[in-house]
Amino acid sequence: MRPRLLLLRRPAKRPAQALRTFIQSSVVLYSPRSRPQLPFLSVSSGARNPQRVRFMTTERKERLKYEIKLGIKYTSYIWIALGVLFIGSVAVSQEMLEREYPTPHEWSFLTRQRFRGGHCERDQTDPRRMTSWNRVMIWMKSTIERLENPEIDGDGLKDAPHDRPPGTKDISSKPESWRRGYYEAMMLLAKAAEHMDGWVVDKSRKMIFPPGMMVGPSNPRPKPLPLGVKGPRPKEEDCELAYETADDIYLRLIAMEGLTSRQRMDARLAYASWLEFKGATGPAGIIYQDALESALSQRPSLPAEPVDKKTWTLNDAAGPPSDNLITSLTAFAAFKARSGDISSALPIFVSILKARRNLPKPDTSLTESLSGISPDGSINIKLIKQIANIFKPPPYPAPPPDGANPPVRDAKEMCEEAALSLHIGEIMYASQPATREEGLGWTREAVDIAEEQLHKLGKLRKDRPARTTCRECMASGLDNWATMVAGLAKEEAAKKEAAKVQPKKSGWFGLWGEGEEEDLTRWVAEQKVIEERRRRSQDLIEELKPPANGLASLFTA
């Protein structure tokens, strides 16, 4: 029997009923076969098979390169502009300091910059801080080292003979401006050494400490460290003197070859003042007398001896004294007064004051020629010259007089006369009670003269020494005046207490009963006058700078 083939039949699949729309054909929308999906033609939905997307296209690369180049270019422009502004501001500040503190043109730029830095720190007027004499010492020490270095600014500088103190130089072969600048640097270095006397450096930590803070046998009770200094106190075995002493610097200055007579005399007077401050009155008196003898030897051909060697008073028969003689004799008389020899100092001061009042007056035509003001000059020419001077380097000042001739009676000499009146008034007030009121009169006169000259002086640089002298004289005069009146007011209070105990005495019909009361209240009223005078003259003494106006006020605190 033939077997039968059984055919498996699958159930027939009903064809899907396609939706018919009125927009497109159903064949296009619902094709039985889907279109092939190519990677670069479709965007991945992030499901199972993510597709890679190209973000860095050729256009984006070119755009990014352009933006990077543009950023580098503008950043470079900004930094270059900032650098130019910084260099310009430094140049302008150095130019202003050069006009304020002239330096010799023979020096290199760094030497001149450090010289100006030391003087600027010394004369800083910021009320929020004090002068850092440590910085002044560093500036001037670096200046001196560069000036004495033959490879920088010391070409041709010689050493002094071996009988002079070690380190003494012979500057006689250098130009006058170089010698004067070197002398000024040495004098400021000595002044800074006075303020830094006794300071030590801790070699283990390379830190500088004021005197009295070192722990050791020589200082069993050290002072506390300054605020903000961390670490222990310096030990004596780890410390040494930070800088050269002022005595060594002054001795080198006095023994230096190439100085003028005025410079050598000023160095001797400064050294004598330092010795007197340290308590060595014997050596100080010898140095004062050496300076006086040096001033006397400058004018040998005089009709008579300028000074009486017994009383040290000036001789009128010798004519007007020289500037050096007046300066050294005034310092010598002040030293005698501070030493207690009032009877010898007072006649010297009186003779100097008499000689100063007989000095010749300054020539007005010479003053106008030196100031550069011509009576027939037009304003336009002056303005053009002032604008032209801005773009020219300032000339180094002419050498000052050597002091061998008599000075003229200008504003500075008038203030020196006022200072002499202060000395005389102080001596007369302290010598005996009978001359107290007379000494007070001398002090009042000195204050009046100093204030009058301060009102007359201008703000020019050439008037700065006179303004400094007058300000110091007026400030000291007001202090002395207030101290004298306070002492007399104290005596007045004691007299009032004694008057309360004793019965009052009056004249006929009580006519003289109020005379003593008015006399007693005189000093109290004068104290109020002094306070008012001090208030009015505060601007003259301090010389405050006016506040900045306009755009400059935005950059000031």
Long-range contacts from 216-223, C-beta under 8 angstroms, 24+ separation: none
- Cα dist from 443 to 330, 437, 447, 539, whole Å: 17, 10, 6, 21
- Helix crossing, 261-277 with 246-254: angle to 10°? 150
Answering whether pTM is above 0.85, one says no
Radius of gyration of the chain (CA): 43
Q: Please state, in angstroms and rounded to a whole number, the distance separating the CA atoms of residues 529 and 188.
A: 39
Tokens of 501: 């105990």
What is the separation of C-alpha 399 from the centre of its chain, rounded to a whole number of angstroms?
Answer: 23
Bridge partner list, 235 = 215
What mean pLDDT do residues 364-384 have? 56
Confidence of residue 143 (pLDDT cuts 50, 70, 90): very high
What is the separation of C-alpha 385 from the centre of its chain, rounded to a whole number of angstroms?
Answer: 30
Given this model, what pLDDT does residue 254 score?
93
CB count in 10 Å sphere of residue 431: 14
- How does the average pLDDT of the chain come out, rounded? 81
Question: Which residue in 537, 521, 529, 439 sits closest to 484, CA to CA?
Answer: 439
Given this model, what pLDDT does residue 509 score?
46
Given this model, what pLDDT does residue 520 score?
56
Query: Does the pLDDT at position 176 exceed 80?
Result: yes
Q: Please state, in angstroms and rounded to a whole number, the distance separating the CA atoms of residues 115 and 97.
A: 10
Given this model, what pLDDT does residue 58 score?
82
Comparing 290 with 128, the larger pLDDT belongs to: 290
pLDDT digits (tens, 9 = 90+) for 275-286: 999 999 999 999
Strands (E), 234-347: 239-241
Q: Please state, in angstroms and rounded to a whole number, the distance separating the CA atoms of residues 492 and 522.
A: 9
What mean pLDDT do residues 243-264 have? 92
Q: Where are the domains of the chain?
A: 270-351, 416-501+517-551+553-557
Confidence of residue 25 (pLDDT cuts 50, 70, 90): very low
CB count in 10 Å sphere of residue 485: 22
Question: Which residue in 359, 390, 313, 491 sits closest to 96, CA to CA?
Answer: 390
What mean pLDDT do residues 92-105 have? 88
Query: Does the pLDDT at position 11 exceed 70?
Result: no
What mean pLDDT do residues 384-409 have? 82
pLDDT digits (tens, 9 = 90+) for 472-508: 888 888 999 999 888 888 887 777 777 776 655 555 5
Q: Confirm if 192 and 133 have CB atoms less than 8 A apart.
A: yes
pLDDT digits (tens, 9 = 90+) for 178-189: 999 999 999 999
